[in-house]
Amino acid sequence: MDKLWAPWRIDYVSRKKQKNCIFCHAFKEKKDKKNFVVLRSKYCFAILNTYPYNNGHVLIVPNRHLKSMEDLKEEELLDMNKTLIKIKSTLKKILDPQGFNIGINIGKVAGAGIANHIHTHIVPRWLGDVNFMPIIANTKVISQSLKELYTKLIKNL
């Protein structure tokens, strides 16, 4: 894995030590470009996953620090779903994937990296993309940089 170009891993290691919730931090800091926040809605925001499973991996995050789906109010659920659809359509437009995985990982056992602040994943998929996924490490070479993706999304949202 030494030869894999994965500069985000360095950041990942240092961020892991951060005690504060990265979503709450991104929400409060209001430095959207720095934090890769692509869209803010009334009850939620959309942020690029800086440790993506695939190119175009976006997270929909409620503004409130909530652990479980049951705590979401109706207006938050609606806003999150509307934002999800908006992001999905924009990703389709700019990246033209053949499919999407959309879902929530609940609990660390299910792969939730930030288990205390619920969020929905949108992962674009292309035929054969799994062939490029490393089997052991949870990193992969991303064909398009996050900054490039950020700019593209912002322009099209």
Task: State the number of binding residues for Zn ion (CB under 5 A).
Answer: 5
Give yes or no for residue 24 binding Zn ion (CB under 5 A).
Answer: yes
- Residue nearer to Zn ion on the CB measure, 117 or 121: 117
Give the active site residues.
119
Give residues with Cβ within 8 angstroms of 35, minimum separation 6.
Answer: 25, 26, 29, 47
Residues 79-118 that bind Zn ion (CB under 5 A): 117
- Residue nearer to Zn ion on the CB measure, 14 or 18: 18
Strand pairing class (44-48; 58-62): antiparallel
Neighbours of 144 (CB within 10 A): 12
Give yes or no for residue 43 binding Zn ion (CB under 5 A).
Answer: no
Strand partners, 45: 40, 61
Binding region for Zn ion (CB under 5 A): 21, 23-24, 65, 117
